[in-house]
Amino acid sequence: MNWKKIVAEYFTFTRGNRIAILAILCITVGVFFLPDALSKSTSSKQVVNDTAWIAAIKKIEQREDENSSNFTSNNENNSSNYQYDRNSNKYYPKSKGELFYFDPNNLSAAGWKKLGLRDKTIGTILNYISRGGKFRKPEDLSRIYGLFPNEFERIEPYIKIETTSTQPYTNGNSENKSNNNVAPKTYASRYTIIDVNTADTTALIALPGIGSKLSARIISFRDKLGGFYSIDQVGETFALPDSTFQKIKQYLKLETTSLRKININTATLDELKAHPYIRYTLANPIVAFRNQHGNFATVEDLKKIMVITDEIYNKVSPYLSL
C-alpha cells in the first residue's frame, strides 16, 4: 500500500477547490467578527437628545394640573354647585354597604355610610339639605355631585320619598284645619311585583336590570327545575349577577308552589340527570342503589346513599316522589 499516493490523492486541491475554501473561511470569519464591529461603530456615535420638546410638554402638563386643581377647589367651595358630569367613570368601593329602604331627605350621615357612600359624597348631600335643598323624586339624587351612576343605580330601588300636602293659611276654619292633617304619601314604585312561577318573559323584562336573555334563562331554569319553591332559587340562574338579583328580589313573590316531581322508583337515568339539582353525579348512584336494593320505601331513603348529604337532600327532595 502506497501511503504517499493515498495522502496525495486526498490532500491535493485544484484551483477551484482552493478558491472555495478561502471563500468559506472569509464568510466564517465575517460571521464571528462582524457583529462586534457593528456594535462598536454604533456605540461610538453619540446620540444627541433634543430635550426642548420634552420641556415644552412638561410645562403644558403642569399647566393642566394647575387648572384641574383650581377647578376642583372652586367646585367644592361653591355651595350651589351639586351637579356633576354623569359620563364620569364608575366607582367600585371595597364594601358595597347594606341596602335598605330610606328617605334621602331625612337620612342621617350614619345611614348614608351604611349604604356604602363615601364621606365626601355624604358631606355634599347633607350640605345640600342643610341649605334648603329637597329631593322630590328618586332621580333628583342622581344629580348630586360625586355620586357615580352605578352607585345611584344600586340604591335607586330602595328610595322611598315621603311627601306631605301643604295647605294655605286660614283664619281658623275647621274644614281647612282638618285638611291640614293629611297623611304622608309614599313615592310609588314604578315596578310591579310578579309571581316567579307564573311570570312570562315580558313580566321579567319589566324588572330593573333584566333583559331578554336573562328573562329567557330564568324561565328555562324554572322549567328544568319543575318550578321554584323559594325566591332565592332565582338567584341561581346562570349569568344572573347577584347585584341584579338583589335589586329585583323585592319585586318577586311566590304564590304558586306546585312543583313538577320525579318518581325515583320509575325514573330512568336520563330523566334523573336532566334535573339541574341531580345531574349524573347523583342520578347514577340513585339508579345503582335502586337496582341493588329494590325500590325506595320513602324519599328519605335517599340519605342511605353515601354521596347524598343532608344539605343535598333538603335541596332536591321537594322535586322527588314515589
- Domain shared by 184 and 200, yes or no: no
For residue 246, the domain's CATH number is 1.10.150.310
Q: Does any domain span residue 152?
A: yes
Tell me which DSSP letter residue 321 carries. Answer: E
Residue 169: its pLDDT value, please? 42
- Where among 253, 276, 292 does a domain terminate? 253
Tens digits of pLDDT across the chain (322 residues): 566 666 666 667 677 888 888 888 888 888 877 777 676 665 555 544 556 666 766 677 666 666 555 544 444 444 344 444 444 455 555 556 788 888 888 888 888 888 888 888 898 888 888 888 888 888 888 888 888 888 888 888 888 887 654 444 444 444 444 455 555 555 455 788 999 999 999 999 999 899 999 999 999 999 999 999 999 999 999 999 999 999 899 999 998 788 999 999 999 999 999 999 999 999 999 999 999 999 999 999 999 999 999 999 999 999 999 9
Q: Are 180 and 110 members of one domain?
A: yes
Angle, alpha carbons 278-282-287 (nearest 5°): 110
Domains: count for the chain: 3
Is the same domain home to 151 and 172? yes
Q: Which residue has the cell 461610538?
A: 44
Summarize the chain as % helix, strand, coil (round to 5): 55, 5, 40
- Same-domain check for residues 119 and 213: no
| Co-location of 138 and 222 in the same domain | no
Q: Is residue 227 part of a domain?
A: yes
Give the Cα separation of 97 and 121 in Å (integer): 14
The answer for residues whose C-beta is within 8 angstroms of residue 117's C-beta and 6 or more apart is: 97, 125, 147, 151
Question: Considering 139, 158, 190, which residue would you say is the last residue of a domain?
Answer: 190
- Considering the domain architecture, whether residues 108 and 172 belong to the same structural domain is answered as yes
Q: Which of 153, 173, 190 is the last residue of a domain?
A: 190
Query: Count of H helices and E strands in the chain?
Result: 14, 6
Range of the domain at 283: 262-321
Are residues 92 and 162 located together in one domain of the fold? yes
Please report where in the chains the cell 348529604 appears, as a residue: 309
- Residues 223, 206, single domain; the answer is yes
Tell whether 298 is covered by a domain.
Answer: yes
In a domain, 46, yes or no: no
Indicate whether 177 and 239 sit together in one domain. no
pLDDT value, residue 65: 60
In a domain, 173, yes or no: yes
Whole-model pTM?
0.46
199 and 186 share one domain: no
Q: What is the CATH number of the domain that holds 87?
A: 1.10.150.320
Is there a single domain that holds both residue 171 and residue 234? no
